[in-house]
């Protein structure tokens, strides 16, 4: 446990990764959610994605949402972009933190982006260059990093090599995405270890889903390896439109609760975050899977 950091950064991905898997939420509701999340102590919020509305109609109002958000100086807002067109829209709108995705699985990448992974990486290099010219950062997310619903196993060497290629092309950071919750602690240890053999200095994040109930165990495995950045989604919103059976991301409030119990600082006000999780639940009109939202922290006693 000697590598466990004393503090971590949680990036809230509910407004983008979460809401893209729900029936369209009105623009005003999305803005309300982003603004409320900004009051919790979270310092990073993935806000929108600039994708074609035919691909993800839930994100068709990205520009309208972003223009209406009450931007806070203490929060970094990011946008997911699929290509140069999306990157230009995000940069022209004022974003200075971009994310772009490549799937380690060729089948998933073709279904998601209509490109081979190698073609995606060529395009990503152009996005990175454009972002840097604008004074922005660009994180490369390697999706299906722990397995693919179409292909099954994805070799760690392949995943690590795509991440290393992105870093050579200038990626500011790497994120390994467990798109369908196929990860497990041993797989996290192997992949993180393999990538660090190639690029020990790379800023690294983990994006875990809880499809098979291993999301928090995977977070702890990453934590024990010194990973300091994790994605999470308020209420456990999320999934993947191109991955059958994918359920939500790890819930932000569950991650905060567990990290607090481990003595790891997040800077997040858990009580306030639970209020926002309840708001997210009202916005989507269904019960969200977060167990901490249902039960509260262990310090909440019955009357």
- Pick from 124, 79, 130, 84: which is nearest to 101 by CA? 124
What are the backbone angles phi and psi of residue 139, rounded to the nearest 5°? -95, 140
- Pick from 147, 146, 140: which is nearest to 164 by CA? 140
The dihedral built from the CA positions of residue 121, 123, 127 and 133, taken in this order, carries a sign that is positive
Place of tokens 């600039």: 50
Q: How far is CA 259 from the centre of its chain?
A: 18
Contact criterion met (CB below 8 Å) for 112 and 147: no
The token duo for 48 is 């929108």
Q: Catalytic site residue 240? A: yes
Torsion of CA 229, 28, 56, 276, to 10 degrees: 30
Out of 138, 148, 175, 240, which one is annotated catalytic? Answer: 240
Q: Could you give the C-alpha distances from 150 to 108, 142, 179, in angstroms and in order?
A: 7, 16, 12
Catalytic positions, written as ranges:
240
């Amino acid at each position: 446990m000697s590598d466990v950091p004393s503090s971590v950064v949680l990036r809230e991905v509910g407004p983008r990764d979460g809401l893209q898997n729900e029936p369209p939420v009105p623009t005003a509701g999305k803005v309300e959610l982003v603004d409320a999340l900004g009051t919790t102590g979270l310092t990073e919020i993935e806000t929108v994605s600039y994708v074609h509305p035919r691909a993800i109609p839930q994100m068709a109002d990205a520009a309208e949402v972003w223009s209406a958000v009450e931007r806070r100086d203490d929060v970094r807002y990011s946008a997911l972009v699929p290509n140069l067109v999306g990157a230009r829209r995000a940069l022209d709108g004022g974003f200075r933190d971009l994310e772009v995705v490549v799937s380690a699985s060729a089948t998933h990448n073709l279904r998601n982006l209509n490109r081979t992974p190698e073609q995606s990486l060529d395009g990503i290099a152009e996005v990175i260059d454009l972002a840097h010219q604008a004074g922005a950062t660009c994180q490369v997310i390697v999706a299906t990093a722990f397995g693919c619903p179409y292909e099954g196993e994805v070799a760690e060497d392949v995943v690590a090599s795509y991440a290393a290629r992105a870093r050579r092309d200038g990626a500011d950071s790497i994120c390994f995405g467990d798109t369908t919750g196929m990860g497990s602690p041993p797989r996290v240890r192997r992949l993180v270890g393999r990538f660090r053999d190639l690029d020990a200095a790379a800023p690294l994040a983990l994006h875990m889903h809880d499809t098979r109930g291993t999301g928090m165990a995977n977070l702890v495995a990453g934590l024990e390896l010194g990973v300091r950045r994790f994605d999470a989604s308020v209420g456990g919103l999320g999934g993947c439109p191109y991955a059958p059976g994918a359920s939500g991301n790890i819930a932000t409030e569950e991650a905060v609760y567990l990290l607090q119990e481990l003595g790891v600082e997040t800077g997040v006000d858990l009580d306030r975050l639970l209020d926002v999780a309840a708001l997210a639940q009202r916005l989507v009109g269904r019960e969200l899977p977060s167990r901490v939202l249902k039960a509260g922290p262990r310090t909440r006693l019955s009357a």
